[in-house]
Amino acid sequence: MQKYGLIGYPLKHSFSIGYFNEKFHSEGIDAEYVNFEIPEINDFKEIIEENPNLCGLNVTIPYKEQVIPFLDSLDPDTAKIGAVNVIKIIRQKGKVQLIGYNSDIIGFTQSIQPLLQPHHKRALILGTGGASKAVFHGLKNLGIDSTFVSRSHEQNALLYEELTPEIMAEHTVIVNCTPVGMYPKVDFCPNIPYEYITPNHLLYDLLYNPNTTLFMKKGEERGAVTKNGLEMLLLQAFAGWEIWNK
C-alpha to C-alpha distance for 137 and 123, rounded to whole angstroms: 12
Q: How many CB atoms lie within 10 A of CB 199?
A: 10
Residue 210 CA: distances (Å) to CA of 112, 201, 230, 231:
19, 21, 10, 14
C-alpha to C-alpha distance for 200 and 107, rounded to whole angstroms: 24
Identify the helix (H) or strand (E) that includes residue 147: strand 145-150
Q: Name the nearest CA neighbour of 190 among 172, 206, 166, 167.
A: 206
Count CA atoms closer than 13 A to 184's CA, side-chain side: 0
Residue positions annotated with a catalytic role = 64
Q: Helix, strand, coil proportions of the chain in percent (round to 5)?
A: 40, 25, 35
Spatial CB neighbours of 140, under 8 Å, sequence gap ≥ 6: 146
Burial per residue of 217-239, b for 16 or more beta-carbon CB atoms within 10 angstroms, e otherwise: bbbeeeebbbbbbbbbbbbbbeb
